[in-house]
Amino acid sequence: MKPGEFTFAMVKPTAVKLGRLVPILNEIDLAGFRVIAMKMTRLSKSQAERFYAVHKDRPFYQGLVEFMSSGPVVAMVLQKENAVQDFRKLIGNTNPELAEEGTIRKKFALSVQENAIHGSDSDDNACIEANFFFSQFEIFPINEQY
């Protein structure tokens, strides 16, 4: 897959627990993204620590790790042109109080921490994060050989 054509997303534990998975997937579909890999899984604390290692010195890190390992998440790889930027726009600001009207976080987030969904912030991180959850045999890019 070429950088720029895909991003990594993860529906966070509270959103899954509250039954918001399908409504969130609907928003993702309506925005023109194609799901090319998906799994429901639960992160161990050490996996959550590794996934969010860039934030390890931030005051919210321990709480974030506890939260992200508190229940099942749904991880996915999404294909679309300009995927990373368009998906960040679709999910909105990290803080739901600042998130733009119509964004997924505005609609589904409970708080800054429990903000419904993760989206990669760069093409490099989309690649790293997709590989964190999926092997090459679990990602099915849409192309001529599909």
Active site residues: 118
Instruction: Name the residue nearer to ligand IDP (CB basis): 41 or 94.
Output: 94
For position 60 contacting ligand IDP by CB under 6 A, the verdict is yes
Helices (H) and strands (E) in the chain, counts: 7, 4
- Residues numbered 101-140 forming contacts with Mg ion, rule: CB under 5 A: 121
For position 113 contacting ligand IDP by CB under 6 A, the verdict is yes
Instruction: Name the residue nearer to ligand IDP (CB basis): 55 or 89.
Output: 55
**For residues 50 and 56, what is the distance between their CA atoms, to the nearest angstrom?**
9
| Residues pairing with 9 in the sheet | 76, 119
> CB within 8 A of 100, min separation 6: which ones?
92, 93, 106
Question: Which residue minimizes CB distance to Mg ion?
Answer: 121
For residue 15, the minimal CB distance to ligand IDP (Å) is: 11
- Residues numbered 87-106 forming contacts with ligand IDP, rule: CB under 6 A: 94
For position 123 contacting ligand IDP by CB under 6 A, the verdict is no
Please, are residues 130 and 51 in contact by the beta-carbon 8 Å criterion?
A: no
Q: Which residues bind Mg ion (CB under 5 A)?
A: 121
